[in-house]
Amino acid sequence: MKANLVRRYLQKELNGWWIISMVGAGIILLPILFVFFELFQAPNENWFQVRDYLLQTYLFNTVTLLLLTGLFTAILGVTLAWLTTAYQFPLRNFFRWGLMLPLAIPPYIAAYTYRTMFSYTGVVQTTLRYEFGVQVDPEVISVSSLRGAVFIFTLFLFPYVYLITKAFLENQSSSYIETARLLGRKPFDVFLKIVLPLSRPAVVGGVALVVFEVLSDYGVTSYFGIHTITTAIFQTWFGMYDVDTAMRLAAWLMVILVGMVVVERLLRQRQRYHLSSKSKPLTPMKLRGVKAVAALSYCALVFGLGFAIPLLQLLSWAGLTFEKVWDLSFFILLKQTISVAAVSSALIIILAVVVANISRSKNVFSYFLSKIITAGYSIPGAIIAIGVLAVFIELDGKLAPVYASLGWGEAPLILSMSLFMLIVGYTIRFMATGFNAIEVGFEKVGTKYLEAARMLGNGRTMAFFKVDLPLIKGALLSGFILTFVEITKELPLVLLLRPFNFETLATKAFQYAKDEMIHEAAIPSLMIIAISSLSVVLFYFIEKRVKQ
């Protein structure tokens, strides 16, 4: 009886879409599990050394960075979101999307730009010295510190909080805010008593993204010489060639992460607000005089520090090195970057479409499948890299007899020296970006067209290609652009998984900066910023279309 029911259920649900999804989920889960199971292996000597002498510092630095960055991005993100949605002041419409632009500058690029600007020969100190005759204590002004890292992360990651909070305030909150105003509360009271508590879930969501980015960071912290768990993974791997210890560190970092996700869920559980989905947008109030100037200056300051100033500095450096850097090898670099990002994004989108399509029938399996598929987003690049590497080395070991029979020599490393490894790494890390975009697309279309197509004699696959695919084209494109941008910006994963001598814009810019060739780093950095700006432009156009 039971077996019959199962068989009947499989007749309904089992098809190529399911099989591809299961394989995809397996590929994504395997490296993560590999890292996790390292916890149950016997540790080697290095590990005890790391644990007894270094781990405390690593942990302290990591936690401090997370707490301070989380706090400051929340403050910046919420105040700016509130200001630009609730009030009308000069240039407000420009800032509404201009304040997303800091996201286009990867923090590691901002880090070396600011460090050089604040160095003895940099623009800040020289101006102070020659124009004003002021000598500053290098200790006070140095950016190369924990303080500096918090500064950089805050300025360039706050848009995550800003974006999510702004979307919430614009679409969901007007009735509560207007009620509070009608009840005679002053604007500041409304902000404190209504806006802040109501937008808590949005702020937590945004800060969570910031935290994931900071945890994943290698560029800023290693450039500033701050030891965190992520930089420690790199050091044990490249410095000590001890993959086991690196994996053990990664596993513990992952345990911390899982703990944080659980805590966040628990905190939120009792705070789920019911929000009316179709409330009208908030009507902004006009600011005048001093208040308008203050609002404008605040936005302009953040925009200047977070986008305009570093961009201008990079442009001026690019002018100095244009002839030296802008040559054939640079175009090869560009081509390599674009092709590896395009191939990975295409792979991600295809897998995302398959999984999102079967996740449309809601059941326990599809729920877990979508969770597994998107797991990589909350896992730092370094952990994914080390898991992927371990799996590929294992695979090469298993395939050694095959290689030998093909005459490729005894136990060569074929897969783990190939570009394929990097592409798998990217796919795991950025699957969620593509998946979420496509899921939204499917949700908008609903299942009625699919059902109508099936009632007219088309199978699942035919119905998908003839009906769903044309209808989710837009989501496909935006999903592709978003993952493409993320991949182009990404640093730690590509540093760890790229084949020997394979360079992308990101690795090249970082290499130049590490070698103190800051001016040369400007052009690849500007290229990355240009590509990243695509996603901001995309947001702008989507918003515009939704309004129409």
Whether residue 103 contacts residue 159, with contact meaning beta carbons closer than 8 Å, is answered with yes
Distance CA 216, CA 231 (A): 10
Q: What are the backbone angles phi and psi of residue 312, rounded to the nearest 5°?
A: -60, -45
* Phi, psi dihedral angles at 144 (to 5 degrees): -75, 70
**What is 463-484 written as a DSSP string?**
HIIIIIHHHTHHHHHHHHHHHH
Which span sits near other proteins by CB under 8 A: 2-10, 75-83, 424-432, 530-538? Answer: 2-10
CB of 12 to other proteins, least distance (A): 5
If one asks whether residue 471 binds other proteins (CB under 8 A), the answer comes out as yes
- The answer to whether 173 touches 195, Cβ cutoff 8 Å, is yes
CA atoms of 430 and 162, how far apart (whole Å): 22
Tokens of 292: 């308008």
Cβ closer to other proteins: 466 or 514?
466
Question: Min. distance of Cβ 437 from other proteins in angstroms?
Answer: 19
Helix (H, G, I), strand (E, B) or coil at 59: helix
Closest to other proteins by CB, 19 vs 63, is 19
Q: Which is nearer to other proteins, 274 or 448 (CB)?
A: 448
Question: Which residue of 319, 459, 474, 499 would you call a contact of other proteins, by CB under 8 A?
Answer: 459
Which residue, 276 or 461, has its beta carbon nearer to other proteins? 461
- Comparison of 3 and 546: residue with beta carbon closer to other proteins: 3
The answer to whether 70 and 422 are in contact (CB under 8 A) is no
First to last CA, the chain: 55
Bridge partner residues of 286 (DSSP): 88
- 193, 466, 514, 544: residue in contact with other proteins (rule CB under 8 A): 466
Of the two residues 175 and 447, which places its CB atom closer to other proteins in the complex? 447
How many chain residues bind other proteins (CB under 8 A)? Answer: 25
Integer CA distances (angstroms), 207 to 76, 77, 213, 315, 369, in order: 11, 9, 10, 31, 25
**Residue 364 makes contact with other proteins by CB under 8 A:** no
Q: Taking the complex as a whole, how short is the minimal distance between the CB of residue 467 and other proteins, in angstroms?
A: 6
Site residues (CB under 8 A) for other proteins, limited to 61-120: none
Q: Which stretch binds other proteins (CB under 8 A): 7-15, 126-134, 152-160, 161-169?
A: 7-15
Q: Please list every residue from 397 through 456 that binds other proteins, using CB under 8 A.
A: 448-449, 451-456
Which residue's CB is nearer to other proteins, number 82 or number 464? 464
Q: From the CB of 328, what's the least distance to other proteins, in Å?
A: 45
Handedness of CA 393, 397, 401, 404 (dihedral sign): positive
User: Which residues in this chain contact other proteins in the complex, by CB under 8 A?
Assistant: 1, 4-5, 7-9, 11-12, 448-449, 451-460, 463, 466-467, 470-471
